[in-house]
Structure formats: C-alpha cells, structure tokens
Structure 1
Amino acid sequence: MKPVTFAAISSLALAVALSAAAPLQAQTAPPKPVPSLEQIFRAEPYRSEPAKDADFSRSGRYLAWLWSPFGEPGTDLWVHDTKTGKTQRITSPQVMAAFEAPEDMERFDKKLRQRNTEYAERQAREVAQQAYLRGEKVDLAQWETAAIATLKKELAEKKAKDDAQKAADKAEAELEKQAMAALAAKRAGKPVPAAAPASAASSPDKDKEKELWELRDELKKKLARDKLKPADLYPGPSQFAWAHKADELVFQYRGGLYRWKADDKIPTVQPLVATQRDLKLVAYTADDSGVIYTDETRVLRSGFKQTGVQVINRELIHPDDEQKKYKIDQTAISEDGRWMSLLAKAPLKTADDKPAPPPKQVEIMNYSERWATAKKVNREVSDDKRNQQPLALYIRQLPTGNEPPRKQPAPVFTQNGGDVWFEMSDVAWARDGSRYAFTTWERDKELLRVYIGKTSCPQPSGTTAAPQGGAAGLGSGPAACDESAKPEMVLERRGEVGHEVVNVLKPRFTPDGKTLVLALDEAGWRQPYAIDVATKALRPLVKGEFEAHQVIGFTADSKAMFVLANQGDMAAMNVLRVDLASGATQALGAAGEYHRAAAASEDGRWVGAVAGNWAQRPELKLLATDGKTPARTLTDSNDKAWGELKLLRPERFNFTNRHGDRIEAYAFKPASWTAADKRPAIVYVYGGPLNDRHIVEVDSFQNTAYLFGQYMAARHGYVTIAVDPRGHSNYGRKFSDANWERPGEPQAEDLEDLVKLLPTQFGVDARRIGLNGWSFGGFQTQYTMYTRPDLFAAGIAGAGPTEWENYNSWYSGRTIGKATDRTKPVLRKYSLLPLAKGLKKPLMLVHGMQDPNVLYQDTVNVYRELLDSGKESLVELFLDPDGVHAMGGVVKPAGWHRRYEAFWLRNLGRATP
C-alpha cells in the first residue's frame, strides 16, 4: 500500500497531479523563528467571514453579496458591475445611521470599541503569561488592576450622581413641605410662617472603601453585564432580493425594507417599510412595482408608489378545526408573480385540546456564579415518541388587489404530524408559474417521493391556450382557477435511498419549465438527475465517481446546467458547466481550488463563487463561462499579517485500504525530514458523515488538523497527518453509509491501514503515533483506543458522543442506526462505555461543560467507566467550564493547543531524526 503523493501547493492543478504517483519530497525550510501558538491563534481572527448569498441581477450585469472587510462588524451589501468592473459598497454603518436611532448607533460604536479592546487585551495577556512562564518579569495583575481602577472611578461617579439626586430630592421635599404649610395657614386665616432657613447641605455619606475581594466581585458582575452579545454589534443587511426585470434590489435590515436602484444617477438607499417585526423578503411583485414579504403570520405586499400595506394572505385555518390556525412557515412565489405556495404548520395539542407539553429537556450546569445553576435545552433522542407538527401546503393565486376576499381553498398536500419523522423540501416553481414541485421523506418508512403540481386555469372562451392564473381566473365561479388540485407523485423510492441525500435533494425547474432537476443517490454518488415533466422519465445528467449535488443555475436556453462537483479531486470543488443533452462537462474555475457559495447569472455568462486553497486563500471570485476572460477577485477578507507568518503547507497523499477504497489525507513534515527518520506523529481524524464536508479540503484551515499540525511539524519536528477514512460525506454512498449500524469500525480499519504506512513511507516511529479528533472524531479516537489498544501510543478525544442513545435523533437516526423499538434505547448497543476497559495508552478527554450538542455527561460517564476499570493513571480531563461544543469559553485556542502540545511532548517525546 504505497501512498500516492504530491505537493499540494507547488501547483494549482491538484486534480491533474492526482493521477501521477510521485515520491514524498521534503518541504522548503520555513523561516526562523517558528511562529508561537499565540501568533498562530491570535485573539483577533486573521480572517473575516467569507462573502455569502451571492446573487445576480436578472440582466446578469450586477452581482450582489453580503460581506464585510477584515476587522469590520456585520455583513454589508456590495454590488459589482460586470460591465465596468467596478464594485460599490451599498450599506455601511455610516449609510444606515440615517435610518437608525442615534442611541443605537452609539451602542454599536461603543460595543465595537469594547470588542477591539478585548481582542487587544486578550492577546497581550496570552503573550505575557507565556513570558512569565519563561521566567521573565511580568506583571500579570496589570489588567485586573486597570479594570478595578476604572471600576472604582465608575462607582465613584455613580455615587456622586446618586448623592446629587438625593440632595435634589431632599431640597424639593423641603420646598413642598413649606408650600403645604403656607396653604394650611392661609386656609386657617393664620399668618404664613416664615420660611425656614435652608438647611446646610449635608455632606454625602462616605461609604467605607470596598476591599479588594469586594471590588473583584463587582468587576465580575460588570463583566457579565457587559459581555458582548450578537445583537450588540452593527449587523448589516440580512437578506436581499433582485427585481424581476430592472437592475434594482430590496434588502432587509433590522426590521425594515430598503430599496437600491443601479440605474439611478446617484444610486442611494431608499427606505420602504420600517417596523420592529421580523420581516422576511419573498420577492418583487411580477411587474416590479412593489415587494412581497412576510411577518410572523401573514404575507404582505407594499407598492413603491402607494402608501399602506396589503395583506395578501391572512392566517390559515385548519380544515378540521377552525380554532387551530396554521402559522405560515415558508412562502415561495412563482417568478411570474401570479402564484404562491404557503407551507404552514399547526400548533401541537393534546388529545383533550390543550397545548402540547414542551419536548424533553436536559439540564446543563453553569458554575460561574456562587452557586451552580442549571439551564434547560431541548433534547430529542432516538427512543422518544415524536410530536411533529401537522403541516399543510397551500397553492394560492396572488390577488391583484381589486377583487374581494376569497374563501380559503383546501390544501393540496397535508401531513398529520404526530409520532413520525417527516421532512419536506422547499417548493420550487417553474418560471412561468405553470408547475411547482417538492419532495418528501419519511424516515421510518425509508420512503422518498417527488411531487409535481399544475396550476392551469379554465380556458376562457375564444382562446386556444389555458392561462396560467391572472385576473381572468380569480374569484369564484366557473372561471375560477382550481387552487386545490392535488400534485402528482412522479417518483418514489423505498429503501436504498442513501443516508446523506435527503437534505440535498433541492428540486428546481429548468428555465423552460420542461425539466425538473434534483439531486439523487441512484448510482452511489449524489448527482443531478432530470425528470421530464411531460413523460415523467428519469435520467442522470452526469456520470462518474464524484459528488455533484449543488446545482447553481442554468443557461437561458435550458441547454446547460452549472453545478459544483469534486470531479477529479475529492479535496476540491469546481464549477462545472454540464450539457444537459450529452452530459459533457467543462470546468470553469481554477483546478485545485475549492468553490463554495456559488451563483450563476440567468444569461449563463457569469458565475460567482468563494474560491481558494491553501496557497490562494478563499475570496469571492467572478468567473466568466466563456473560458477566456480571467477571473476577478472581488473581496479581501484576510489580514495581511496572516501571510507574513510564513507557515508550512501540507503535502497531499492517498492510500488504498484493505477493501480497495482510496483514502485521502495530507501531511505536514518538518524541513529536515527524510524517509529514514523515526519521528513522532499525530493523526487527526473526524470520520463521521457531515452533509457536504470533510477534513481534507484544500481551502480548510481547521484549527487542530491544519494550524496546530503545521506548528507541531515546524516547532517540534513531528509528522502530522489529517485523514478522511470511510464514514465521511462527499466521497459517495459507500463512504457515508459505511458508518451505518457499525459506527467507528470502518474508520478504525482505515486508521490501521494508515498506521502500517507511516514507518516506511513517512519516517515515523511506529511506537510514537498519537490519535486526535473532535466531536465524531472524539468518538472515533476513543473507539479506536479502546478496541485497538496497541495501535496508537496516546490519544486526545474532544467532545465525543460516547452514548449514541442520548444524542440528537436528527443525526443518530440518519447516520448511526435505526431505532427499531421506540420503547427502548436501542442505540445503546453502540455505546463506548462497555469498551472503555480496553484502554492501554494515555488518553486525554476534552469537553466544554456547557455543550448543548454533545452533552458533557458523555465525557463524565466514560471517565467514570475508565476510573472504575483501573485506568486512573492513563486518563486525564481538560475542561472548559464555560465552553460549548466548539468550546469558546475561558479556554482560548492558543491555550487549548498549548495543552495539546504538552500532552504530545510528554507522551510521544521529541523528534530524534
């Protein structure tokens, strides 16, 4: 099993390099000194969030997206003109200040300063703490001293203000007393008593100065009170929608809707609707004269030239119970603006018509106060009886605004809810509104269905074609359109559907409305398939062993499709143009880059995608589909200081496991590496299904696998490896389904096969190999350490679900096993607790104690089993008292990995080439 290798960064053509077997090569020595963990895991992240929600105007000339440059809060709206090559920032705190209360903008500014101050202080503290441990003279109390000095000043100012108010209140009371005395004397016919001389202002009571411990208590309260929350910082727009014809858009910002027109002489932001409600944009009206949106319960329409708001769909009534109102959950409007779909859910009730009790809840303890407190979070596990809300799908014509209200039609599709696991996709509309489509999935029955519905109306006399809605068909009577016509089931699959396909089905029509395209797993890979609307025939649109489940658009003539696919390189995703007739593909992006969050223009000339790799860090790029025009980079998301760290880059390789499967991985090797070395090594693993993600991705700078891996190689001479064993997503059904009903075992086999390669091919000491993983990888690390106790010399397992019967059923029921008996915790058969006694080598368990995802009790319970089986000298705990699933409490990334560094050095030793 000799590995195939190549330098991942030496060329961007990674897909081509995969086909050639080349010997492992030592990397160029990094500059000295090696960056410290405090530099690598800087308090202020080196990257801003990538651009999101990219979308083209109907003309294809403009591309809009949400993003903010490095260091700025929120996600602002940006627009790029493909014709002029110019990019314009539409929103900013300064622009939106015109529509905000001054005190809100002051709060945003204050909190931004606080965030930046906290970043700077945290970084300085981490650097100082390491200097102190090196024996340097450092005042570690300086930050507390400064904070207490500020607190004392604030307390003094507050006391002075309170004392002044007390004095004013006292003076006012004395004047009121004199006035009442004068009034009483006047009524009694007595002389008004002379005003008493003003009493000398009493000096304010001098409080006893607080002791240091009291000031620390006050400081703790202040820090808790002022802790940054997501709503404290300027958010930017959360959503936008382009017009159907014009080059203009409407965006949603903090309960308001705003308009921007590209063809204005001086494009500016114009307010449309200002509320404090949770508004969600749906679409422009068909003629672009207004906008349609929803609040919590209704679908609303506002015109640009008219005042007022029109309710175009009121609350929905349950057909069997008029007291049970459906709440609108999703709204989709056909592009011609004549039809809308309303997916609604009814409130849960008991048999005696009372509100249903809340779902099962578990308590999570908080130890930050004097006494521990508990908060409750919802938890649904595999053996719980489900209580799914009833749902109904309504197909409605949009009223023109002139006709009287119509009686609510019957829903076209219903599901009664209850003790079932039922999922339904978004509703997709044909561009002309003639058809709609959706999919359903019933997990317990393993039943997948695809539906297509028609919206045709009665044919008016004297015409040759039936209209697709419109005023002619509105109202009631013989000419009314049938809004209750049931959709037709056009595809059904029972069993062998693939565990990872349900959430990527996403049906959508081609522009001509003749074909429905959706992702299926018919041949072992999630790929697009076409259903002919007329014949209902199903055919694949691509062929080959690769994943291609994200369709991003079509050409205007419906002859070609754009899709993201890892064709030729499982660690990358490119944009493919696919000929719908022949299946021929053309890659549009640079080979060896991972393309995400992509959108295609409706004229088929442009694609926007966040793309990059380890050498060219990801940014939003504009790709021309003509194969000639160079790509344009539209964002700049990274701090230049990141590039100055001059860190190592990994080498990709793959190997063949015992079953003939190709396993992808990458490795960091120190500059002085040779194949004859006997170096310690660390293997990082995840191993579980993760929708469309895995670890070995060319644009992923994962904290432990990548950043810490390169540090250990550069600083300590380790060989560090990240591997994607069977069990991962985006490698086809064989991989994603491998975990089903045998979690951990396929992954452990692949890890065994990897370890066999390391001594001869990677210069590794077979006696000094460690294993590390987080979440599912934390489970996998433990499973491997317990069932193959001599394979690894030590392990670190973070936040691993050790008791699958207690994990969320939305995941466990899709990836672990089926709960065949809902009265018992059947998934306990996969618990790690009975296996823990097999541990023979050092193991560190890591967990955030307030984790609502993988409960901290999973680590506590396996720790108990380890202690009970005499493993006290082998197991240790590393806990974040305030941490959640990704931790993020008092334990920060630099300190987190400093603990990892110490563990590995203690248990694997230093490199001895």
Structure 2
Amino acid sequence: MTFAAVSSLALALALSAAVPLQAQTAPAAVPTLEQIFRAAPYRGENAKDAAFSKSGRYLAWLWSPFGEPGTDLWVHDTRTGKTTRITSPQVMAAFDAPEDMARFDRKLKQRNDEYGERQARELAQQAYLRGEPVDLSQWETAQIEVLKKELADKKARDDAQKAADKAEAEAEKYAAAVLAARRAGKPAPAPSPAASSPDKKDDKEKELWELRDELKKKLARDKLKPTDLYPGPAQFVWANKADELVFQYRGGLYRWQPDAKAPQPLVATQRELRTVAYTPDDAGFIYMDETRVLRLSFRQAGVQVVNRELIHPDDEQKKYRIEQTAISEDGRWMSLLAKAPLKAADDKPAPPGRQVEIMSYSERWATAKKVNREVSDDKRTEKPLALYIRAVPTGAEPPRKQPAPVFTNAGGDVWFEMSDVAWAKDGSRYAFATWEREKELLRVYLGSTSCPSPVSTPAAPRGGAAGLGNGPAACDETAKPELVLERRGDVGHEVVNVLKPRFTPDGKTLVLALDEAGWRQPYAIDVASKALRPLVKGEFEAHQVIGFTADSKALFVLANQGDKAAMNLVRIDMATGAVQALGAAGEYHRGAAASEDGRWVAANAGNWAQRPELKLLATDGRAAPRTLTDSSDKALADVKLLQPERFSFTNRHGDRIEAYVFKPAGWQASDKRPGIVYVYGGPLNDRHIVEVDSFQNTAYLFGQYMAAKHGFVTVAVDPRGHSNYGRKFSDANWERPGEPQSEDLEDLVKLLPTYGVDPARVGLNGWSFGGFQTQYTMYTRPDLFAAGIAGAGPTEWENYNSWYSGRTIGKVDRSKPNLRKFSLLPLARGLKKPLLLVHGMQDPNVLYQDTVNVYRELLDSGKESLVELFLDPDGAHAMGGVVKPAGWHRKYEAFWLRTLAPRPVAPR
C-alpha cells in the first residue's frame, strides 16, 4: 500500500499556526472539523521537476499558484532575481482549440462550485444536528430546478426538430406527388395543409423520484475527470549550451527563449510525446512518440526518424517497443531500452494477468469492475527486454542495420528490475544496475562506446542535420558492458528503488547509492580501477544524489544527518567525506536540483512552522535564500491550533524511536488524560510519519484537534519498520510483519504516564500498513490499548500486491500462497477491546475483502459487541467517495470520546 496514498491526505489539507516549535498556547477558539477539513484545500501542490539551465543562470520548474489547476512552467533568473511565468491558460489559449479552453473554464467553475456547495452542506448538517432550523434539501431542490429547465429545453428542441422533420417529409411527399402528376399528364394536386405541430402527448411533469433518478444520471455524466481541467506543461528539457528549453504540452512541443514574448510551437500532434534532449549544437532536439525516436531541426522543416521500431535478432517477428531513451550530453550516443509483449506457447499474445472484481452498489443492481492484481503466488509476466547502444545518426545517411543488443533479459516468470541508463558527459561510457529478486542479486554494469574522438563537420546539406564526424560506421555499437559490482543477498530490501548510477562531470567516477553498512549512502566506483569506496560515514540516510560541482570534487545529496525527521541539502567532499549543510536546519528538503557549475541548489523546503515552498540556495552562502513560490491560501492564517513537540525514546533493543506529541492547553505531567497513538510502521522508499513538513490528516491535523478541543494527548510515532531510518528499520518486517512495531508500541505506552496520559485510556490508530499494524497489535496484545481504529489495512498478505509484499514481508513461493502464514484472520480471536474497521469499498490497493474477511472472523469469535464497520461505498484507498475528511474524522471523534471516556482535568 503506497505511502503516497497516506501522505497525499496530508498535503492537500495542511494547516497550523506559524509559531515557535515548542510554544504551547491555548487558541482563542478551536476551529471545527468542518473548518479544518474544509472542502477546498488550504494548500496547493509543491513545485516539481526543478532543473537549472546548463549555465546555471536560470532555474525552471512546474507549479501553479494556489487554487489554479495544472502545473505551469516558471523560470527564475538567478542574476536579476526575476521570476517569469512562461505558461498559463491565457498563454496556451493561442495554441489550443477554443472548445478545449471553454471546457477548461467551464469545468474549473464546476470544481469551485462543488467545493462551495460541499462546504455549505457540511456546515448545514452540523447546524441541523445542533437543533438549528436548516433546509437540508435546498441544494437538491436547486439542482432539480436546473434539471427541469434543462429537460424542458431539451424537449422544446426535440419537438421543434420533430416538427421540422415532419414538415420536410410532407414537402417531399407533395413534391413527389407533383412530379408523378406531371409525368402522368394530370393537373398538380392541391398543396397539403401546413404541417401541424407534433402530436401532443401527456406532458405531465415527472414525479420527484423520477427527477431524482435523472439528477443522479446527470451528476454521473458531469463528474469531473482529470482531463477536464487545464493541465499545464508535463515536461521540459534545457538546451546543452544556450539558456533555452523545450517543453511538452498536450501532444505538442514548444520552445522557450529568454527574449521571446511567448512560447514558439514546434510540433503539434495528438500523440503522446516525450522530449529527450537537444542536439549537441542546440540546433534542434530529439523526442519520442509511442514507438519512435525523432529529430527536428529549428532551421529546417521536416522531422527525421532517428530510430525505428526494433526487432530482436533472435526473434525477427517480435516487435520491441522503445520504452526509454537516454542520450549522452555530447549527442553522439543513445541508449534504447525496448520491451516486447509476452507470447504464449502457441505464439499468441500472452493472456492478461490476474484480475479481481470490485463490487459497486451505486446502481439498482450491484455491478463488478475488474482491476489488475499480481499476488505472490502468481506466475509473473515480465516482458522480454533488450538494451541497445546506438550512435546517433549525424546527418541524412541511409538507415543502418540494427545492431545486436548489448544486454538482454528473457522476461517471463521472473522478477527483474533495471535502473535508467546513465551516460558520461562525453558519451564514452554508460552504466546501469539490475536487481533479480528471487536470486537476491544486485549487479552494476559499466559500458564503453569504443568510438574515436569526434571531428567537427560543417552543417549538413539541405534535408539533413548538422552533426559530428567519424560517422557511426567507425563506432562499436555491440560491445558488451562490464560487470563492475555484484552483491548477492544482504543488500537491503529498499535499496533497489533508489539505486541510480550517475557519472561525475569528468567521467572518471560512477556514483550510486548502496546499503553496504546499514544505511543508504553514496558510493563511488573508480571507472579506471573499478575500485569501490564509500563517500560518507555515519548513521544517516543520504541516497538521493542531486548533482556535482563542475570540478567533480564534491557532490550534492539529500541527507537526514543529525535529524531523522528532516532532510537537508548537503555538499559532500568526495575526497574527505566532509559534509556541509546548505539548507536551514530543521527543514525537510524535497525535489532538489543543483546547477552544473555547483553555485546554486534548489528544493521545496519547510517545516511545521514555515510551510514548504521552493527555495533557491547559493552554495557559497553569498546570497540569502530566495523563496520562489507561495502555495497556501491566505485563510490558512485564520485557523490557529497547537504545534507538535518532538521527542524520542529508546526501545528494548536500544534503538532510538522518533515521535511527536500534541499537548493540550493546561497540560501537566501529573495529568491522567486520555491519549491516542497514530502508527504507520511500513517501509516504502523514503517516507515516514514523523517528518517536520508532513501535515498528515489524522496524525497531525486530527491529532491537534483532539488535543485542543477535548484535552487528549495525541502522539505520532515511527516504530521499526519505516524507511529512512537505516536497514535495521526498513528490514524489520521481514518474515515477522507487525511484531517489531508492536514491541516498540509497548515500550511507548510504558512512557506515556510521564506525558500526562492515563495508560488505561490509550487508543491506537493507523491507515493502510498502519491499519494492519493497529489490528495486529490489538489482537496480539489485547490489553495494551483501550480501543483501536484500523483503516484500510491488509489482513491477508497473500492477496496483496507482490511488488510490495515480496520485498518487505517475506519470501514467496509461486506454487502456493505461502504468505498466508502472516494472515491476521487466525489472530482476530484475541481482540478484547473496541475496534473500528474503516475501508473504502472501491479500494483497488488494499481490497475491501480484507476487512470483510477479518470482520467475519471477529463475528465468528463472538466479538460483535467490540467491532464496528465504517465504510465508504464509493471510496478508494484514501476514501474520497461519499465520506469526506470532515465526516471521516467526526466518526473518529465520536468513537474516541465514547471508548476512551475522557475525564476532565481538575483545575490547578
């Protein structure tokens, strides 16, 4: 279950007061859940895909201000300090069909109207429950009135069309009669009377129930889809030398130059395009459609096919589709990663993999939809793979014979992963890594192009393209790469996702993230000697390499050295391993970029007190950081609540466990207040709960609400099992999921009395893996927590996606569902305290059947009085159907107040 599904709940509705971190002051008035979880988000998306021009002067990123749809292209001039918005709906209207722009405007208004109506409904419902006179049907009444007018207008149009059709038919009939009479020598017949209106049937107005049915259909037809709103550009690529870029927008490619008044359209298609790179001389660029690599010149008309569809030499009838293309910065070489569809024994296309049905109850009769599912005991359908290394054609020479691939994998029933191909700047070398899960085999390959040095040639003749001499015939496109690193077993279950080899600017060193000492950190392979050495030492994560200084003496990386709840941008000296922090301490930096001259870095950075925004940092400290975006609604400042307090504790095994706590106003250590603990507990790349910029819906927003409103002490904790705490944590679930976390939760509960908590009145809550963790703890340690809320938790790991379970839960056996040994169903009989099970019934990630099956076991074990179900009939993994965050947490509030029975703290 993706952590993104959990964290996406957080970023959409972020709010808190910008006050000193440790301050604990009582708010003047506690906002309601309807204010906290209002229909319209308080915050937009962070900037993404930040990248510097090759000179380092310009920084570009994709982002739109709060409330605006899509992600537009922005460029900041580091020299002048000026930021320019390159695209917007108004700018791109010059290139879009008017009908599309009108639809974007109409659907944006619909979205905003829906936000307003949903918020009004929420407030009206709560007023009604307080006994205030409220008309709860006013919105339906208004919608039905609109619908009735639409139906009347449609009927009038249909009647007019029927009348016109009838009149035309009568005229045709009379004309035919006149023609027949003339041919027969008879007088023309008298004209028919004017056509009457269509027969009037009983136009009795539809009954209310019929109108409601019509309204339901209308709302389903008009439901917003992702393509309904203006998207903005999806991708951009900087030139090799010039300060300019090409970006992709809705099937077209556009060029931006600093002095241009507007983007210049280059290619307009209805196909899926991807920009790959500029040509070496910046006179054109290379891009891909669904199957081909193409080159376009700025100076000449026409598009040249650089590489057509591929045919594997061992199977000439099998078409290999190009999935990824990477071009060396000198433009001389490209890698083509291609895959072919699997075929069955009879040479027919392989049947689709497993599909499971999800039931929908929104219609009169239940219907089923199918979603793809690959579980641990399924045969895999990995596509055959071939990697080609090809010299980029230099001009208009005729097509050359396709070379043999330099690397292949037969695919089939195997688990095989491969990193992107990295190129040295001069195109002399390339590198990639592979991971074979069943063999626990990690390999790193280093290849050489064995091509003579380039010699400049004049511009190509008309119809060709400028390029480089010593044509492709002088180069070896078939030399196999050398295996330079191999690790079998003991590589860390998570390292595969972050292993991204890249060369230093001088091409002498290959840098990649490895987990050699229990922490994911950068390592260097000397290209000449193939020797491997660590670049840093210490117990911290530093696996996201951002870039290098121009002299190849230092690299930039994100690291949580000194604070596991934050991630800073740091500079590492490649010779000494010395680490220099570039960003502010106590901020989480994400989506970082570094200029090639090493003078600038940028990242989304912030914390609980200062919301994350895109910041530009000078690496030598010569200039103050610049904040380039403003992503929050100004109304955010009107919602004031508590700030969390960080703390940590040592578990029984000597591990440091990070957490944060909300303490209510008037709190004292001697209090005996009710408490709530929020847990996640699963590994996935680099996310966890205790992060200083994470405003997770339940752990953070609802946690501070329960503290401020009801005097609870609420805690969020990262037990073993999470990523970014080293391999000991991320591997903790292997072959015993849930047990290490439960041990850490036991150790936490022992400490809670020192935080003013009554240990007999503590509740446990979690979502996704945290929903599993909550149940596991409630079943195996039935007296530890007084109540629990488990949301969308996988209870049967043999039914969960194998990409996750087979990497973090345990080894799999394709012949039988052996992960069944970790099922929660046999443990459910241990429940002794109240448990609320929450799930979206349309969840394609953790299937709703997981909750149904454990619910059945609880009922069969006589737990009817202890277990409750709270379901979203239309909700997916993050809910979002008919149950919205405000209502979701109202249910939580009522459950905690009832089960933890808070007693007021005596005044002092």
Q: Which TM bucket (shorter chain)? A: over 0.9
- The match for 1:188 is 184
Give matches, 1:167-246, under 5 Å: 167-202=163-198, 204-246=200-242
1:26 Cα offset (Å): 7.5
Instruction: Report 1:505-524 matches (<5 A).
Output: 505-524=499-518
- Structure 1 residue 274 displacement after superposition: 0.2
Alpha carbons 1:575, 1:589 under 8 Å: kept: yes
Distance in 2 of aligned mates of 1:237 and 1:682: 43
User: Residues 608-687 of structure 1: matches in 2 within 5 Å?
Assistant: 608-687=602-681
Would you say 1:381 and 2:359 are equivalent positions?
no
Where has structure 1 moved over 3 Å in runs of 4 or more?
7-12, 199-206, 458-461, 469-473
Instruction: State the distance in 2 between where 1:105 and 1:27 align.
Output: 49
Q: Partner amino acid for 2:881?
A: G
Residue 443 of structure 2 aligns to a residue whose secondary structure is: strand
Deviation track 1:562-621 (CA, whole Å, cap 9, x = no partner) reads 000000000000000111111111101010000000000111111110000000000001
CA contact (8 A) 1:342 1:394 kept: yes
Mapped contact 2:18–2:610 kept (Cα < 8 A): no
Unaligned runs of 5+ in 2: 1-15, 456-465
Matched, 1:578 2:559: no
Name 1:557's counterpart in structure 2: 551
Give CA deviations for 1:627-686 in whole Å, capped at 9, x if unaligned. Answer: 231100000000011122111110000000000000000000101100010100000000
Matches within 5 A, 1:60-75: 60-75=56-71
Match of residue 102 from structure 1: 98
Is the 8 Å Cα contact of residues 576 and 587 (structure 1) preserved in structure 2? yes
Are 1:27 and 2:24 an aligned pair? Answer: yes
Asked if 1:902 is matched to 2:899, the reply is no
Local SS of the residue matching 1:503: helix
Q: For residues 576 and 870 of structure 2, what CA distance do their matches in structure 1 show?
A: 56
Q: Which moved more, 1:180-189 or 1:849-858?
A: 180-189
Which residue matches 1:825? 817
Structure 1 counterpart of 2:7: none
Distance 1:442 1:200 in 2: 78
Q: What residue number does 1:849 align with? A: 841
1:342 corresponds to 2:336: yes
- The structural deviation recorded for 1:198 is 1.5
Q: Does the aligned pair in 2 maintain the 1:281–1:293 contact within 8 Å?
A: yes
For the pair 1:877 / 2:869, whether they are aligned, the reply is yes
Per-residue deviation, 1:475: 4.8
**SS of residue matched to 1:135:** coil
When the two structures are superposed, what TM-score results if normalisation uses the length of structure 2?
0.96
Q: CA deviation at 1:473?
A: 3.8
Deviation at 1:472, TM superposition (A): 4.1
- 1:164-211 per-residue CA deviation (whole Å, 9 max, x = no partner) reads 111111111111111111111122222222322324445744522100
Distance 1:415 1:559 in 2: 36
Q: Is the 8 A contact 2:19 2:643 kept in 1?
A: no
Q: Is the 8 A contact 1:717 1:911 kept in 2?
A: no
2:879 counterpart of 1:887: yes
- Kept in 1, the 8 Å contact 2:836–2:869? The answer is yes
Confirm or deny that 1:788 pairs with 2:784. Answer: no
Query: After superposition, where does 1:393-404 map in structure 2 within 5 Å?
Result: 393-404=387-398
Match of 2:793 in 1: 800
Write the deviation string for residues 4-50 of structure 1: whole angstroms up to 9, x where unpaired: xxx998768xxxxxxxxxxxx7811122x200000000100000010
Q: What are the superposed Cα offsets for residues 782-837 of structure 1, whole Å, 9 maximum, x if unpaired?
A: 00000000000000000000000110000001100001x32111100100000000
1:736 maps to which of 730, 734, 738: 730
Structure 2 CA distance for aligned equivalents of residues 459 and 637 of structure 1: 49
Of the structure 1 ranges 625-634 and 765-774, higher mean CA displacement relative to structure 2 is found in: 625-634
| Secondary structure of 2:93's aligned partner | helix
**Secondary structure in structure 2 of the residue aligned to 1:790:** coil
Instruction: Specify the code of the residue in structure 1 equivalent to 2:104.
Output: F
Is the counterpart of residue 36 in structure 1 residue 32 in structure 2? Answer: yes
Residue identity matched to 1:474: G
Asked whether 1:163 is paired with 2:159, we answer yes
Distance 1:776 1:458 in 2: 54
Aligned match of 1:492: 486
Q: Which SS does the other structure have where 2:94 is aligned?
A: helix
2:463 is aligned to: none
| Structure 1 partner of 2:758 | 765
The percent identity for this pair of structures is 83
State the shift of 1:291 in Å: 1.3
1:318-342 CA distance string (max 9 Å, x none): 2222110100011100000110000
In structure 2, do the counterparts of structure 1 residues 9 and 229 end up closer, same or farther at CA, with 3 Å as the change threshold? closer
The one of 745, 753, 756 equivalent to 1:751 is 745
List per-residue Cα deviations over 1:683-707 (Å, max 9, x = no partner).
0000010210000000000000000
1:464: which partner in 2?
none
Q: Distance between the aligned counterparts of 1:598 and 1:26, measured in 2? A: 30
Whether 2:530 is the aligned partner of 1:536: answer yes
Cα contact 1:250–1:258 (8 A) shared by 2: yes
Residues 203-602 of structure 1: matches in 2 within 5 Å? Answer: 204-262=200-258, 264=259, 266-457=260-451, 471-476=468-473, 480-602=474-596
Q: Deviations over 1:840-869 (max 9, x none)?
A: 000000000010000000000000000000
Verify the 8 A CA contact 2:394 2:469 in the aligned structure 1. Answer: no
> Secondary structure, in 3 states, of the residue corresponding to 1:99?
coil
Q: Give the whole-Å Cα distance in 2 for the aligned partners of 1:872 and 1:531.
A: 61
> Aligned pair in 2 of structure 1 residues 132, 546: CA closer, same or farther (>3 Å)?
same
Q: AA paired with 2:868?
A: E
Range with bigger deviation, 538-547 or 303-312: 303-312
Distance 2:541 2:669 in 1: 35
Tell me what 1:111 maps to: 107
Question: What's the CA shift for 1:772?
Answer: 0.1
Contact 2:286 2:294 in 1 (8 A): yes
What amino acid does structure 2 have at the position aligned with 1:410? Answer: A
Distance 1:768 1:475, change over 3 A: closer
User: Per-residue displacement from partner, 1:101-156 (whole Å, max 9, x unpaired)?
Assistant: 11111110110000000000000000000000000000000000000000000000
The answer (yes or no) to whether the contact 1:541–1:583 under 8 Å persists in 2 is: yes
Cα distance in 1 for residues equivalent to 2:707 and 2:311: 64
TM-aligned CA distance change 1:583 to 1:274, over 3 Å: same
Per the alignment, in what secondary structure is the counterpart of residue 317 of structure 1? Answer: strand
RMSD of aligned C-alpha atoms?
1.5
Alpha-carbon distance between aligned partners in 2 of 1:383 and 1:772, rounded to the nearest angstrom: 31
Give the letter for the 1:573 counterpart.
Answer: M
- In 2, Cα distance between the equivalents of 1:887 and 1:198? 60
CA distance in 2, matches of 1:475, 1:904: 71
SS of the residue 1:824 aligns to: coil
Aligned partner of 2:509: which letter?
A: T
Q: Is the 8 A contact 1:403 1:475 kept in 2?
A: no
DSSP-derived class of the 1:441 partner: strand
Partners of 1:260 and 1:267 within 8 A in 2: no
Q: Secondary structure at the match of 2:220?
A: helix
